[in-house]
Structure 1
């Protein structure tokens, strides 16, 4: 298949342009200046910062609060971590380039948020960020896909927010765009909520719940009294499960190998595996 010139340009830009986080993972160090420059050349890409207006929308969409721990993968000049800290959210940036780590630390000190904002030099694929309840990133699709298995193994309910690039077949739970007046390029962000893993057979009183899971989406059957009823509107949202069967609405919460909830808002139900 041939690409039109415009499509080829878009594809090239998609390979070359990334946010602070991607530049941090892939650049050769530019020792001529300790300050990042828009469009600065790196090993494979050039550096483009996330617009402050989109950072704000990303934090809003993540519903980040002081009870969370935010980790920014490839934190670049530190703006996302610092913006989170200004909201009272403990935040940590993992950055490959040591000069950008120093830039970020100075910016955090200037903003007066060093008690909440931490930065460390490291490779995001070798770092432990399992404590995060919110993960932010601005990475190319190939890097997102490399991270996807790690993210899916995080605690159910962890929110993942990405600037501009998706997670392949893992469809986002939400998306936002920054106001055009405050953001000219790379102005869309996507959010995913890490789902609990529920694929398989679950025993219920007098029946069995069989689930087939594709990320947060579910299919399956509810078997009871010799009947098998197909599920509809079935999905996960973190540890919360919802589905309909035989005209009844089931909601519940998953905790390890147990589910508990209500049917039609009042009748209790539970399942184990």
Structure 2
């Protein structure tokens, strides 16, 4: 019987293939009620991911599904949290920095996380209980689980911090983030900015290509759950600036507080 992380990997690869089929065309961009962009890729990827996850009978929170009232959700111990295309703005810009995010959350804490980068065929996946996170560079969206494991390399965060590499957003660099960077500089730290779109910002910290990711701008649970799983699996924390504790999921309000991603 296929396990949940293999299922999420298969779903992400299949969704990635469909996303790239749209990416290589002249596609239309719609605006949702909240004015965020929506493309055919978001819709197709969501349908594919749902087709994989629904048979598990574990409920799904997805950016592109109709949101279920908290009166029902509060009774869920476990749920999938999905963003079929994280970084739709990056997708529209055609810069390749968009991802498929799939996480499994139990009692508010991410257990499994899968992030797939369709444009580069890079796959990140993690099991927080086993404290293991990997990255596979795949030849094809249609690769087998055997190949995923064959190409998998363990993720390890940075140890040496002579230069503090701070991850900034391609599309959402806020004044608060700039203030945070300036504060690091006033402490005498040498700081460099590493820009990335989508959940790739979490991956940069988890794989040792950056030290810290401060997020002082809005995100939703589906933007962060998979990235948090990958970070947590290698000892990197995702800490709420409201509670000073790790971000939690399946909240009444699916909007995240501001947070900082770093190895404590």
Greater helix percent: which structure?
Answer: 2
Q: Verify same fold: TM over 0.5.
A: no
Question: What band does the TM-score fall into relative to the shorter chain?
Answer: under 0.3
With the length of structure 2 as denominator, give the TM-score of the two structures: 0.24
With the length of structure 1 as denominator, give the TM-score of the two structures: 0.23
Please say which structure displays the higher CA radius of gyration: 1
